Amino acid sequence: MLTVRQIYQKDYPKGKKAVYKYTSEKYYEISMPRRDNGWNISLVEERFAAPFVKELEEEIFEQYKEGSEVYLADHKGEEAAIMVIQKMDWNNTLLIHDLYVDDRFKKNGIGRCLIEVAKKRAIELGVRSIILETQTSNYPAIQFYLKNGFELIGFNSISYTNEDIKNNEVCIEMGYKLESHHPNL
């Protein structure tokens, strides 16, 4: 049985860590050659020579996330996933800071359930869209977000290092527009 509940920083005086991990066989190669009158920008699916593995541990209640809502998904009494969302007043969007599903619980609909929580909160908060960041190297996440109605809305080719394109790990933003689904927003 899956339960999703909001958790609060006050209940975690020593902090709350989450392990973010993924393995990807594919990535999106980004190219943006300059032309006389602009740029040609493309993102093309490619295959890694060997599986790309990324793992890092992150504090959920970081200072820069102050004001965020944190949701924890429990599956049969075990912590299965966590999501951090924040209403951004300056542009009337809902930002998904983090969405982590433990490897043991992937492919069980838990991520989709958390996305539905975010969509519901977005409507309740009256925002115009939901935005998030992922990487061109995180092919599984990109496919997941596409299946859940998100689209590519932008990228930053030097977000993590000055060699992001060469490293096949470019920051991309994805978004879900609510006004197309809810005309009164």
Mind listing the pLDDT tens digit for each residue in 46-80?
999 999 999 999 999 999 999 999 999 999 999 99
Counted domains in the chain: 1
103-114 mean pLDDT:
95
Task: Find where tokens 């049985």 sit.
Answer: 1
Residue 37: inside a domain: yes
Residue 185: inside a domain: no
Which residues constitute the domain of residue 35?
2-177
Q: Residue 74: exposed, middle, or buried by beta-carbon count in 10 A (0-12, 13-18, 19+)?
A: middle
pLDDT greater than 80 at residue 181: no
Per-residue CA distances from 61 to 7, 12, 47 (Å): 10, 9, 35
pLDDT, one tens digit per residue, over 2-40 is 999 999 999 999 999 999 999 999 999 999 999 999 999
pTM beyond 0.85, yes or no:
yes
Confidence grade of residue 183 (pLDDT, cut at 50, 70, 90): very low
Percent of the chain with pLDDT over 70: 96
Residue 182: inside a domain: no
